[in-house]
Structure formats: structure tokens, C-alpha cells
Amino acid sequence: MIRYSLTIGACCCLSMTAQELPLQKEQDRVVLRRQSGEVFDVVSPISQKAGKSTVWIWAGGKRQLCVGTVVGDGSQVLAKWSEIARGRGLALQCVGSDNQTFDATVSGVYEDEDIAVLELKNSSLRPVTFAKGSGLSLGQFLIAAGPGDVTLGLGVVSVKERVLRDSDQAYVGIAVETAEEGEGVVIRQVAAGSPAEQAGLKEGDVVISLAEKTVGSTAEFRALLSAYRPGDRVKLDCLRSQNKIAAELKLAAKQPTGQFPQRRLEVMERMGGDISQVRDGFPAVVQTDMVLNPEECGGPVLNLRGEVIGITAARAGRIRSYVIPASSIEAMLSRKPVAPELAKVRAADPGPQLSRTRQVRPRLNRSDMERMRERMKEMQQFMQRLDEELGALDR
């Protein structure tokens, strides 16, 4: 059994490359680049087998669209539909690890998963074998394989499997934050007409348990609620002016969140690079801090044993990408896909665009530095609040 030992410093470079770190000394950049290369060298042998079942997908022989995963008998490839659709009207080719090129056509589309099925002519490619198991655990190390010995990304599981499709997510209709004293989460806002309002919940109430399970933070509240679906009934125990009250709610389907904080978050999410056009609404995904380009999605994801445990679905933010688990892929393939001529690409808000002009190191005096420290402190507080509160909005 091979043991892999990774230093903390090397692991830090998995989620952010040297080019993405601002105002970095050149000597530090060199060290980080070297450490990053060393880590990729360690995991490269693990991804080589899956690399033989991974292809680059091109349109018209000139435009690289995305990565694909070879499945079935070796003549089918799964790829990200929204990326493939950018090549509509052009001939598609799949290029394997040994540079063999195969003509391809789209035979079907799974719209919910944003996955297209490509058929290859005269393919001799090896299909992947998806791992069987009980799912991925928090902190588990992940490798995004590319064709051949290319490793596209490294990261860990940051959020366990969950639904990103609004119609499948339970909605309470409250915005909450962790109580400063004692257990529970404080209700800061109750949406009009929501299940929470109908059950009599009010701003200032402290939710201390959900379905008899203690709530200690917003993260716990979200985790407990994620086990329920629209139409389920749940009991919330709350404190109102130190008096314990109980409320029974019939959960509704999740509603859209407010646009102001969401668009501010979009700006920050795009600071690390381009994000996928279709990056939400998936029936089941695992979240990882892996950094990928949108055109690098669609390939196999491995654990440290080299087992294929899923397919990369999207880059959704600066340090947030999604993986469709192997079990969900196999369940998807048991269904009949939509004909490509009838398939649509889910629309996505393009969000605020950031200038890609070259960054210049600023010249700062002492007062500028003090202001920058204050702004950084405010940003940290803002990001912490977003992480804690936006996830709980409309719950």
C-alpha cells in the first residue's frame, strides 16, 4: 500500500494557484509553484488509468469545448451539455490520451444534470468503471483526471452530497443567524406568506430544535433541514422572550433569494476566474474546493485509490466546484435522455463581468495600508456573514 504524505504548505496551493495570489513576492511564487508541481507529480500516477478514459472535445478542429468521460462500451462519452452546445453547427471531435481523434455526434441530453451523450465512430477507447460505495465524506481528497497523465485539479470534499434544484429543496421562509449566547439560531426575517409566517413564527424567535434534534448553529440548521423535502411536516421548538413555544410547519418549495447580496457574491466568486454558465439546479452534487476552468469540466473524479467516484459538473465560484457522484451518474444513465434537437441549455444570469486588464502592483503609503487593512477586515467579516447567513436565507 502506497502512502502519500502532503505538507500543509503544498496542500494550500491546490485551491489557488500562484498566479491567483495578489502582491506575492517572486521568491514565494517560485516556492509555491514548485510545491504545486510536487503535489501534482505525486497524484499523477493515480490518475493515469482514468486518463485513458478521458478525452478533450473539440468543435471544428479549432475550438476546445470541454473534457469528456468515456462510458458504456467505449463508444459513448459524457460531457457538459452547456459547453458542447457552444459548438452547435460545427463538427465534433474527441481526442484521447494517445492523440487518437474520433468523430462524435450528440445522441442525447440529460438536461437536469447538464450532461450530453456523445457517440463515437470506430472508437477503441476504454470506458471508466464507476466505484460502488456509500458516498463521499467531508475532507476526502479528490483528483480531477484529464486525458493521459494530465491532472486538471485537486481538492477536498467541502460539502457532502446535496440537492441544488430549487423544486427539491425545502423552504421555511426565514433568515437566521447563530445566537450570540446559548444554543439555537435567531430568526432575523420572516418572509410574507411563508410556512414560517403561517405557523406564527416571528422575528427574534430563537430556534433551538428541529424535529427534536438540537440546533446549535446556522450550519446545523441547514444540515437538518436538507433531509426534508417540500410537503414534509416538521416541528420547530423555539424560545420567545425566554418562553418555549412549538410550531409545526408544512415545508414548501424553495423560493428565489434576494438579488442584492447574491450579485455582490457573484462579483467575489468571479475574482478567481471564469465560472460555468450552468452551475446550479443539479439533482445531486458534492461540493469541493477544487479549482477548474469551465472547459475542464465533464471529466472523471477520483479518490486516492484511483477509483472513479464521479464527474466534474461545474465551476461555481472562486473556490467552489461541483461533482456529480457516481451513483447519480449511473441512475441518470438508466433514464432515457432527451433528443439533442429538443434539448435546451438552462439559462444563467451572466452576472457582473470583471475586467481582465493586467493588474499592476500599487504604490501605497502608510495611510493607504491602514485603509487597506480596514477594508480587508470588513471583507472578511462580510464573507463570514455571507457564508453563515446566505446559506440560511429562505430556509
List, for residues 115-170, the tens digit of each pLDDT value: 999 999 888 899 999 998 767 888 899 999 999 988 999 999 988 887 776 666 78
Q: Would you list the DSSP string of 334-388?
A: TSPPBPTTT--PPP---------PPP-PPP--HHHHHHHHHHHHHHHHHHHHHHH
CATH of the domain at 1: 2.40.10.120
Residue 361 resides in a domain: no
Q: Are residues 294 and 324 in the same domain?
A: yes
CATH of the domain at 235: 2.30.42.10
Tens of pLDDT, residues 57-111: 999 988 999 999 999 999 999 999 999 999 988 999 999 988 999 999 999 999 9
Q: Are residues 127 and 194 in the same domain?
A: no
Q: Are residues 184 and 126 in the same domain?
A: no
pLDDT for residue 241 is more than 80: yes
Residue 112 resides in a domain: yes
**How would residue 47 be classed by pLDDT, with cut points 50, 70 and 90?**
confident
Q: Which residues of 177-201 are buried (b: 16+ CB within 10 A; e: fewer)?
A: ebbeeebbbbbeebbeebbbbebeb
Q: Are residues 124 and 242 in the same domain?
A: no
The length of the chain, given as a count of residues: 395
Q: Are residues 40 and 127 in the same domain?
A: yes
Domains held by the chain: number: 2
Contact (CB, 8 A) for 234 and 252:
no
Contact (CB, 8 A) for 67 and 296:
yes
Mean of the per-residue pLDDT values of the chain: 80
Tens of pLDDT, residues 251-270: 998 765 544 445 555 555 55
Q: Are residues 298 and 190 in the same domain?
A: no
Domain boundary among 218, 253, 288: 253
More confident residue, 30 or 317: 317
Domain boundary among 312, 332, 349: 349
| Nearest to 32, CA basis, from 46, 20, 47, 43 | 20
Q: How many CB atoms lie within 10 A of CB 358?
A: 5
Mean pLDDT of 302-321: 92
Residue 392 resides in a domain: no
Q: Are residues 244 and 305 in the same domain?
A: no
| Residue % of the chain over a pLDDT of 90 | 51
Q: Are residues 5 and 69 in the same domain?
A: yes
Q: Are residues 28 and 89 in the same domain?
A: yes
Tens of pLDDT, residues 10-25: 444 444 444 444 445 5
Residue 365 resides in a domain: no
Domain boundary among 308, 329, 349: 349
Q: Are residues 15 and 83 in the same domain?
A: yes
Contact (CB, 8 A) for 57 and 64:
yes
Q: Are residues 237 and 299 in the same domain?
A: no
Distance CA 246, CA 320 (A): 37
More confident residue, 202 or 223: 202
Residue 58 resides in a domain: yes
3-state DSSP assignment of residue 71: strand
Residue 359 resides in a domain: no
Contact (CB, 8 A) for 49 and 70:
no
Residue 4 resides in a domain: yes
What residues contact residue 187 under an 8 Å CB cut-off, 6+ apart?
174, 175, 176, 196, 201, 202, 203, 204, 205, 206, 207, 238
pLDDT of res. 18? 44
Q: Are residues 225 and 291 in the same domain?
A: no
Mean pLDDT of 312-330: 93
Residue 376 resides in a domain: no
Question: Domain range holding 207?
Answer: 170-253
